[in-house]
Structure 1
Amino acid sequence: MRIATYNVEWFDSLFDRKGRPLLDGEWSARYNVTRRDQLEALGIVFNALDADAIMVIEAPDTNRRRDTVRALEQFADWAGLRARAVEMGFVNETQQEIAVMYDPLVLRARHDPKGLPLGMGDGTEPPAFNSVYRLDLDTDRDRDPVHFSKPPLELAMEVRETDFAFRMIGVHIKSKAPHGARNDRDVTRISIENRRKQLAQCIWLRERVEGHLRDGEPIIVLGDFNDGPGLDEYEKLFGRSGVEIVLGEGEEGISPDLHLYDPHARQALLRKLAAAPTSARFYIEPEKRYLCALLDYVMVSPDLAKAATWRIWHPFDDPACYHTPELREALLTASDHFPVSIDLEFPTKSEG
């Protein structure tokens, strides 16, 4: 079975208010790309993925006039995808929803949030992801309110053929970019504040993940973490990246059964002189160059990692993508992120 995550830049701008794909020559929100070109590129990429489930990061918006599920269902119908069913969780206010597209003949998916809702509990236990969690972020012994601008999507998943159940959490962790900075001092201050908030979200997510692992539930955590080992100098200030926190890396005395695994994260953690894998590519206008980074991950529990194969669908680093010109160009046109997939084997009924 193949499960993937894909951050689609400005996906929302490709649909009208009825969720119909805008197949015209008007400019998309991507630089120098028309809406038709981006949609056709996305159709090529999604079909090449041929995944049983795709966690869509920055999915089309849901509000009074727009509907994420309707838009993605019509996209799947237009593109001819077998992953045509859609499930989403808590709506956010950023115009970048998190939703899963899946093949309803292969999988069942149900939004199944855990934790107490807003206003219940004492705020010291991890609540529902659309609530507020109070954590001491700056060691002053005061608990600061933490919230997700994009609450993670918690799913109860089942394989139809075997009824094998597992958990899946789609995430889009807060960006650390110093938006709004007017000078170097602002850059430093905002970067540290954003790093602190980003790590707090990862701590919250880690507590939820560890609960599932302690209960023996197979789990997949996937999406855009806007982070990774060694990505910026502020990581040294806090000791670990958010990715390491969610994986369980660096926690003393923790059982191996309570770790998550992603080989690309492992490679980045162990790198010395070797280049790390990358999953996103951004053009830096002042420097007239591209910045490549590893931001997208598919983390799995140890039981699922045993016979799994990961792949970053990078147009230059993946040989099959590079030597397929139509797919290579589609990946570059469709988004500033590239899909990350995992092929894995679930237990059969006889295996439990």
Structure 2
Amino acid sequence: MKYRRLGKTDFSVSEISLGTWQVGGSWGSGFDNSSADKIINTAIDNGINFIDTADVYEAGLSEAAVGRVVRSRKEEVYVATKCGRQINPHTNENYQPKVLRKYVEDSLKNMGLECLDLIQLHCPPTEVFYRPEIFELFDRLKDEGKIKHLGISVEKIEEALKGIEYENVATVQIIFNMFRQRPKELFFEQVKKRDVGVIVRVPLASGLLTGKFSAASTFDADDHRNFNRDGAFFDKGETFSGIPYDLGLKAVEGLKALFPNHTNLAPIALRWILDHPEVGCIIPGASKEAHLLSNITASDLPPLTEGQHQQVDAIYDRLIRKHVHHSW
């Protein structure tokens, strides 16, 4: 495993880290504590030292699993969680410092930790990024020893650029992959100037970029890849990176032709992300130990060639760009 500095946090984090949205079972299949513990322990065994979770993942069970495993290990493992998505209705007006404080304190209790390495606002409404009092709260929590750093998880480039204007925002978690390329423009330029760490989520476009799906693939009724393709429950950019499923399959066929020696495209897709030095770490999820071990291999792959990058960009420009580039 290779490690990178995560912006102004100064954390040295595994470039392939772990996201835990579906760590205890694939989306829609329920949560299994023994499976979660096994995957998280295997991650740490293989050098992963940064784990991302959220209070809404499986109603707190994901957080509890992360805390349980991290407390049992001797290695230094950085724990990042998120707050705000429990707010219902999820509106700007309902984002209040006292509400967010309670969520942070609840996460600490749920994980059995005294301090969070990183707390992230969890994709709040855009208006929240224009309210200094929200960001000031986290300075107080830091002074109280409850958090070390504040980050933001965003849907839109606009939100990221506004959020990093606050000096206490140390990281941005954002969607960036072969099918969502806009962050490598102005956003990467600005985070580099401000020494902000970049955490990449949805790196495999909800599994599309593994190359294992087809027109005949089906998804459980409770799987967001079934019920959220049009953004009925949350931002549709979180599902297949916001592109129509059939179009994604067509683009993947182009990638398979470009990388004919790789039956599993996941490590290639992750390597593509790692080729951008502004990225601090990637947090692919894993519902099976095999998925985790596959993802880790990306760290040992050589960078893609300039020609390969150009051809990936050509597929994006021809098929994907008009569907996503200016929406997020």
- TM-score if structure 2 supplies the norm length? 0.36
* Greater RCO (Cα-Cα under 8 Å, separation 6 or more): 2
Normalising by structure 1, what TM-score?
0.34
> Which structure has the highest strand share of the two?
1
